[in-house]
A and B are shown apart, each in its own frame.
Chain A
């Protein structure tokens, strides 16, 4: 009724002769695609501390203090959705192509910049 010769055997034998389909990972890495969303980077000198990114973040991983000019990011909460990048009015937020590595402790990134002066302060 069925094959006497197992049909997968030819695939198995050709796979034996071919080179490996996996990479020896930590020694040989594939170059990331340029469109990949990796760790979030903030060019804090461009940042105006408007709070759009923290408002749009579904995981609440960004906290902003406008008075002190601080931008705090919790990479272990970030889900790499790209909403903050799209919401940023001055385009200072970018996702790099490096993906977040596993870590033993929760590290937070705290960046300090100079918030723009308000109109009444200028006067």
Chain B
């Protein structure tokens, strides 16, 4: 009896029917993690505590929604007593004295946090190549990136090591790796999930969400992750629906927005064909395609690369070697302590973004860059507001192509930034968006992005679930890097 590639519900059933014990579930997870160590998907494992928790559940069975379910937590969430690095050298010895609200919510629902997943340093990257702890490998090919920044999470789910993982998404960090690894992931509406205890990158864009193999498992996870949290002033106190309730609603008459302004000519032909086939699939389920215009969409990436670095340069000023994390040795004064710690602690991409942020916020440039980007951000949001008056969802490809080779984007940051071309706008507008597998190109998976209206996760999960009822792209698994 194996749990590999089983859904959360299947594992729950296996446990409740005594086909497998909680301890056996967790033991298998660690045996799989061990077997696929070369994926480098985890930075820190939580084996001893996980086994202990599973034994307790075997002695005292629980009917909590996620009782005994092994979940991999992105190493950006603070976990009390468990090392949390955010993929950075500057936090390589940091053991948080408290847990993020998301972690508390999931653990209160009974899940077992088996370990902390690898990620781009401070979530700044789209290939997991900026992690201090090394590249993560995509299970679909040992020379392929898993995407980023939630690359370890995507790789672990795609390889079947865990049924689900947490991720965070500032410009595509859940959806892009989900696309490149052939799994399903959702970034909820900004404010839906508490950011308390998440290590901040860009506070007006960051949002946590689940990554799993199916939309159904994502809905199940999201039900437990969302909460109104007084500790996060941007946490929404709107009603939180049961995200499973609408999964099977009919798509008949629902309207899918197709973005006229999107230039698909720069994409791989196969990506376009796969995208169009998916649209036909939705039409056959009764949905209608409606042309929409998002005239400022092409400015999403430049807007993001002002707003995100500005917020990052401010957020990351807290890493100074004084209160937590690493501190450089042999310094003569406080100023040198700051400079040396930060220069040794941060990697190149993080430094680059801090410098850009300091530049666009500095006297004389603030209006020209930061204010300007915030104005364009409003235009982008207005475009979405107008479009959603006549449609239910928007669909685009998630990525420009399938997983690329490790090292292939070279040293040009802009080439890497353009990886997030389709995903960034949802963060700027605060909208929920997800990616689900919808095809394969040369045995590499690729995803479809569904963007929803404000607070309307239920509808995008409904579209995704209905698609997964009719297709089996989400069931494909990589042959594995080690047979």
Binding partners A and B = no
